[in-house]
Amino acid sequence: MTATRIDGKSFAEHLRTQVAEGVLQLRASLGVKPGLAVVLVGADPASEIYVKNKHKSTLEVGMESFEHRLPADTSEDTLLALVDKLNGDDAVNGILVQLPLPKHIDETKVINRISPEKDVDGFHILNSGKLATGQTDGMVPCTPLGCLLLLKEYAGGLAGKNAVVLGRSNIVGKPMAALLLGESCTVTIAHSKTKDLPALCRTADILVAAVGRPEMVKKDWVKEGAVVIDVGINRLPPEREGQKGRVVGDVAFDEVAEVASAITPVPGGVGPMTIAVLLYNTLKATCQKHNVPFTL
């Protein structure tokens, strides 16, 4: 079997177009322009790129973008004070504090300081609680929601399928498992202590890899016809000096594509979906604030 290549890039473009239309409608009906604030502490190169891309995409869908760049030695109190200010700012509908934060700052404390209604990352304890208990009015983390949208498009009906999620992070693994459970999949979360990972993965109709290990998932880990979603973004060491290494996912794409029915590439799969869903969440937060139905 040669798998269908899941085109996250064009799916994300389509979603961003829908968000842009929603923004236009809000502006026309209420004169409201959704605003997204992104906070970056320090100068982690990968985070810098994400933040730059978020800024550009936010403007492209007609939203207001507020960027706050703070030095790496910013105190926790200073960051919390900025979050408080953004919580109280009517022009700001969504707040994202880029992770990871420097070691001296308590990430959980900062995340839980963001107003749950503005928590477009869906990391606040209230939003994770809503997701865990099936309350649909909360904010859902962007990457797993993006994966779910792709799965709904490419995996047919999800109910009753065996889903294996590799990785148990709060950002991807746990919310991904909750979303799949909400779709009535039979869900297993696997992690570094799981016994016989290849055998477990072979039980999966749906396999989501989010472990951050380059090309870990091989062909013989994957059941014939499975749908494979690769969340990993790993840069390999350069083959020649002075060059950049190749970016690969957590799945050995070429060989797994021989057995899967559909698979996301890296880059161009899950990555573009994350920012599109962030904008979707920002529109949702704005609609909820103004008691306008959110229909995307």
Site for ligand GUN in 142-171 (CB under 6 A): 142-143, 171
Q: Is residue 83 within 8 Å of 115, Cβ to Cβ?
A: no
Q: Is 140 among the residues that bind ligand GUN (CB under 6 A)?
A: no
Shortest-Cβ-distance residue relative to ligand GUN: 99
Smallest gap, in angstroms, from Cβ of residue 66 to ligand GUN?
Answer: 15
Q: Which range in 97-105, 149-157, 197-205, 225-233 contacts ligand GUN by CB under 6 A?
A: 97-105
Which one from 54, 130, 161, 223 is the annotated catalytic residue? 54
> Token digits for 170?
């709060």
Angle at 147 between CA 59 and CA 131, to 5 degrees: 90
Query: Between β-strands 247-248 and 234-235, what pairing exists: parallel, antiparallel or unpaired?
Result: antiparallel
Specify the residue, 142 or 229, whose C-beta has the smaller distance to ligand GUN.
142
Smallest gap, in angstroms, from Cβ of residue 41 to ligand GUN?
Answer: 11
Terminal CA-CA length for the chain: 34
SS (H, E, C) 180-207: HHHCCCEEEEECCCCCCHHHHHCCCCEE
Confirm whether 54 is a catalytic residue. Answer: yes
The Cα 274–Cα 121 span in angstroms is: 10
Confirm whether 98 is a catalytic residue. Answer: yes
Angle at 47 between CA 42 and CA 50, to 5 degrees: 140
Which one from 121, 205, 230, 250 is the annotated catalytic residue? 121
Reported in sequence order, the residue ranges of the chain that DSSP labels E, i.e. its strands, are: 4-5, 35-41, 64-70, 94-97, 162-166, 186-190, 206-209, 227-230, 234-235, 247-248, 262-263
Q: Is 96 among the residues that bind ligand GUN (CB under 6 A)?
A: yes
Q: Which range in 91-99, 191-199, 210-218, 279-287 contacts ligand GUN by CB under 6 A?
A: 91-99
The Cα 223–Cα 225 span in angstroms is: 6
Q: Is 37 among the residues that bind ligand GUN (CB under 6 A)?
A: no
Q: Which residues contact 282 (CB under 8 A, 6 or more apart)?
A: 34, 35, 36, 58, 63, 93, 94, 120
Q: Is residue 209 within 8 Å of 251, Cβ to Cβ?
A: yes
- Contacts with ligand GUN: how many residues (CB under 6 A)? 8
Specify the residue, 142 or 217, whose C-beta has the smaller distance to ligand GUN.
142
Q: Is 99 among the residues that bind ligand GUN (CB under 6 A)?
A: yes
Specify the residue, 99 or 132, whose C-beta has the smaller distance to ligand GUN.
99
Specify the residue, 169 or 203, whose C-beta has the smaller distance to ligand GUN.
169
Which one from 7, 98, 118, 230 is the annotated catalytic residue? 98
Specify the residue, 256 or 276, whose C-beta has the smaller distance to ligand GUN.
276
Q: Which range in 17-25, 73-81, 94-102, 203-211 contacts ligand GUN by CB under 6 A?
A: 94-102
Specify the residue, 98 or 261, whose C-beta has the smaller distance to ligand GUN.
98
Q: Count CA atoms within 13 Å of residue 104 on its CB side.
A: 11
Q: Which residues contact 20 (CB under 8 A, 6 or more apart)?
A: 60, 61, 62
Q: Is 98 among the residues that bind ligand GUN (CB under 6 A)?
A: yes
The binding site for ligand GUN (CB under 6 A) comprises: 96-99, 121, 142-143, 171
Q: Catalytic site residues?
A: 54, 98, 121
